[in-house]
Amino acid sequence: QKEVEQNSGPLSVPEGAIASLNCTYSDRGSQSFFWYRQYSGKSPELIMFIYSNGDKEDGRFTAQLNKASQYVSLLIRDSQPSDSATYLCAVNTGNQFYFGTGTSLTVIP
């Protein structure tokens, strides 16, 4: 079983819609959780981090964490074509980061 699992997609949404990205993790001792955005051929850049159960909002982005279900999600409201990228979920277990394989998102104008 992989440490972090994501649906690889591709996920397509129309411009202005809500995009929902999901991630599950296996280590119950995981401490913090991250969402990175990666454009093709570029390095990952941090969008959100969360470490407490519940929701965390930053602009159009909302991260949700449910430690009991070992589940992390990212909601992107009012999706824009510039949001088209691969989104990586990452989990910090204390000593190591584990990344999911990423979900490819396309926002259709």
Partner 1 sequence: DADVTQTPRNRITKTGKRIMLECSQTKGHDRMYWYRQDPGLGLRLIYYSFDVKDINKGEISDGYSVSRQAQAKFSLSLESAIPNQTALYFCATSDLGSVPYNEQFFGPGTRLTVL
What are the residues binding partner 1 (CB under 8 A)? Answer: 8, 31-32, 34, 41-46, 49, 51, 88, 90, 92, 94, 96-102
Query: Which lies closer to partner 1 via its Cβ, residue 8 or residue 12?
Result: 8
Residue whose CB is less far from partner 1, 25 or 34? 34
Residue 71, C-beta contacts closer than 8 angstroms, at least 6 positions apart: 22, 23, 24, 64, 65
Helical (H) or strand (E) element with 13: strand 11-14
What is the C-alpha separation between 61 and 24, in angstroms, rounded? 19
C-beta of 17 vs 93, nearer to partner 1: 93
CB of 90 to partner 1, least distance (A): 7
Q: CA angle, 79 as apex, 91 and 4 as ends, to 5°?
A: 15
Of 39, 1, 25, 23, the residue nearest 72 (C-alpha): 23
**Minimum distance between the CB of residue 13 and partner 1, rounded to whole angstroms?**
22
Q: Which is nearer to partner 1, 9 or 17 (CB)?
A: 9
Q: How far is the CB of 16 from partner 1 (least distance, A)?
A: 29
